Amino acid sequence: MNPRLTLATATRVLQQVRSDHRTLALMIAVPCVLIGLLAWIFNGTPVFDKIGAPLLGVFPFVVMFLITSVATLRERSSGTLERLLSTPLGKGDFLAGYALAFGALAVVQALVATGFAIWVCGLDVAGPRWLLVVVAVTVAVLGTATGLFVSAFARTEFQAVQFMPAFVLPQFLLCGLLVPRDQLPRALELVSGVLPLSYAVDAMRTLTTTVDAAGDVGFDVAIVAAFAVAAIAAGSLTLRRRTP
Amino acid sequence: MMNDQTPAVVVDGLRVFRGSREVLPGISLSVPRGQVVGLLGPNGGGKTTLLRSIVGVQIIAGGTVTVLGEPAGSPGLRSRVGYVTQDASVYADLTVRANLIYFAALAGAPRTDVERIVEVVDLSADIDSRVDRLSGGQRSRVSLAAALVGSPELLVLDEPTVGLDPVLRRDLWTLFRSLADEGTTLLVSSHVMDEATRCDRLLLLRDGRLLADDSPAGLLARTGAPDAEQAFFALIENEGAA
């Protein structure tokens, strides 16, 4: 890997996103709109304080998963990926470039969404607020890494988009937001234990209720980060310099 | 350049399958340095597969491909070989400049190369236009420019003139010639036979087999044909008779 090439790739990806104003606006605005809706729906009840933070951890995963899987599919189908892999660019540079670019976008998205939830919607969390952003960014990088990996199995953009419900919604159902994980049927509880989103939601839950949350949250964040690294490693196996 | 006498490309007994079909059933050829070599033949004859094997992005079933003294696809070759695919493989949502700055960074070339190359492919007026706003001909020149930054020793071009108007085609061949005069080796595929006269050397490929490896003059003399197209037909007929 070469830091210069990684950085050049991240810059290029960010330039592409910047040239698409609508995507950029959607990335930043949609999480805020959803948080706002949620706060409004549960106006006057304690529910928003309970699920607001966990959802702040779910949105970046969904958004980054979708954007990355479509972006990398475009690289594969437009021939640019084949071209890139015939240059000195390493597979690691390519993947890290994407992770870096979308990680940077995730920082902006998480700052805006968290700020909106706290100051506009009045979200109240017991733990330190900056940790909300740390969890959200880690989850966003996980979304990017998973999207990179999954895009290898899509031939068309239609397929890539449908991987979202296929990969993301089961994790959403099992992550403990609808039914606490320890109350799930035993088999599902075990499954939820090997899904990364469960740990992201656990971290956000801890932040919601615990003042001294850093230790537990750090543990969950480390697990999410490990999943992201594994997804990037799996993604690098799907990038082949030689193809049939 | 350690030894300019060794060929830029040596292909020996190359076999390639795509699916269950054997596209190249054991082909051998060489490409001399500093020349414009035309790879001609009908569509579906294995031209792209051969070029992909030389660039090192094709999975091969047998034989060897040696490029600039190293096995094709070696890490050391990635900055020395430029590859332009048939479809313009550049980022449509970026400007010409942003595309070329990126590819220059990958090739380890200075940014000043971008301005120079844009001039070479005659896109100076459009340097700040997004690629998706350009015409097809301009787009393929952006793709060519992306391979030219970094000044590769070997340029592999897959049908670079397809779909271009005659003036543009002439300009491109003039560019290829001047690159070769500066020492670059060019391997250019085409299914337009009248482009053969622009080449120093011709490789005629049909159904994965090499019908001829000759200079344009040599080819005409050998077949007694008035032009490359007729020579090609003569070779096919000879083959049928043999």
A82 sits in which H/E element: helix A80-85
For the cut 70, the answer to whether the pLDDT of residue A225 exceeds it is yes
Contacts of B69 (CB under 8 A, 6+ apart): B2, B6
DSSP 8-state secondary structure symbol assigned to residue B75: G
Q: Which residue has the higher pLDDT, B54 or B168?
A: B54
> Of B184, B156, B150, which Cα lies nearest the Cα of B50?
B156
Q: How big is the CA angle at B81 (ends B75 and B86), to the nearest 5 degrees?
A: 120
Q: Tokens standing for A34?
A: 């959803």
Is residue B155 within 8 A of residue B147, CB to CB? The reply is yes
Residues of B in contact with A97 (CB under 8 A): none
Identify which of A16, A87, A241 has the shortest CB distance to residue B107. Answer: A87
Write a three-state SS string for B129-173. CEHHHCCHHHHHHHHHHHHHCCCCCEEEEECCCCCCCHHHHHHHH
Residue-wise pLDDT for A116-167, tens only, equals 999 999 998 898 989 999 999 999 999 999 998 988 888 888 888 888 889 8
Search chain B and give the residue with CA nearest A20: B93
Give the residue from A5, A87, A89 with the most B CB atoms within 10 Å of its CB, the best one to mutate.
A87
CA distance B118 to A21: 27
Contacts of B225 (CB under 8 A, 6+ apart): B219, B231, B233, B234
The answer for A 88-147 residues in CB contact with B (under 8 A) is 88-89
Q: Tokens standing for A105?
A: 């976008």
Does the CB of B85 have a partner CB in chain A at under 8 Å?
yes
Cross-chain Cβ contact A80/B105 below 8 Å: no
Residue-wise pLDDT for B8-46, tens only, equals 999 999 999 998 899 999 999 999 999 999 999 888 889
Q: What local confidence, expressed as pLDDT, does residue A212 receive?
A: 85
What is chain B's mean pLDDT, rounded?
90
Is residue B57 within 8 A of residue A86, CB to CB? The reply is yes
A149 sits in which H/E element: helix A130-150
Q: What local confidence, expressed as pLDDT, does residue B228 receive?
A: 82
Q: What is the mean pLDDT of residues B159-183?
A: 89
Q: What local confidence, expressed as pLDDT, does residue B4 receive?
A: 59
Residue-wise pLDDT for A158-208, tens only, equals 888 888 889 889 999 999 888 989 999 999 999 999 999 999 999 999 998
Q: Specify the long-range contacts of residues B118-123, CB closer than 8 Å, at least 24 apart.
A: B118/B145, B120/B145, B120/B148, B120/B175, B121/B145, B121/B148, B121/B175, B122/B171, B123/B96
CA distance B96 to B84: 16
CA distance A109 to B53: 44
Identify which of B59, B75, B102 has the shortest CB distance to residue A12. Answer: B102
Q: Could you tell me how many CB contacts below 8 A there are between chain A and chain B?
A: 73
Identify which of B17, B78, B93 has the shortest CB distance to residue A87. Answer: B78
Q: What is the mean pLDDT of residues A38-65?
A: 90
Does the CB of A16 have a partner CB in chain B at under 8 Å?
yes
For the cut 50, the answer to whether the pLDDT of residue B234 exceeds it is yes
> Of B132, B153, B52, B120, which Cα lies nearest the Cα of B88?
B132
Q: At what angle do helices A130-150 and A157-174 cross, to 10 degrees?
A: 140
For the cut 70, the answer to whether the pLDDT of residue B180 exceeds it is yes
For the cut 50, the answer to whether the pLDDT of residue B1 exceeds it is no
For the cut 70, the answer to whether the pLDDT of residue B3 exceeds it is no
Looking up tokens 């399958």 gives B17
Residues of A in contact with B130 (CB under 8 A): 19
CA distance A78 to A65: 20
Per DSSP, the three-state class of A2 is coil
For the cut 50, the answer to whether the pLDDT of residue A90 exceeds it is yes
Residues of A in contact with B87 (CB under 8 A): 78-79
Search chain A and give the residue with CA nearest B20: A244
Q: Which residue has the higher pLDDT, A195 or B87?
A: A195
**Cα–Cα distances in angstroms (integers) from residue B12 to residues B29, B42, B88, in the given order:** 7, 22, 30
Search chain B and give the residue with CA nearest A14: B94
The percentage of chain B sitting over the pLDDT mark of 90, rounded to a whole number, equals: 64
Nearest-Cα distance to chain A for B230, in Å, is 34
Identify which of B19, B73, B87 has the shortest CB distance to residue A242. Answer: B73
Q: What is the mean pLDDT of residues A49-60?
A: 89
User: Confidence band (pLDDT; 50, 70, 90) for B2?
Assistant: very low
Tell if the pTM clears 0.95, that is, is over it.
Answer: no
Query: Cβ-count burial of A10 within 10 angstroms (0-12 exposed, 13-18 middle, 19+ buried)?
Result: buried
CA distance B155 to B72: 13
The answer for B 12-41 residues in CB contact with A (under 8 A) is 17-19
Nearest-Cα distance to chain B for A25, in Å, is 17
DSSP 8-state secondary structure symbol assigned to residue B108: T
**Cα–Cα distances in angstroms (integers) from residue B67 to residues A3, B12, B177, B199, in the given order:** 28, 11, 21, 20
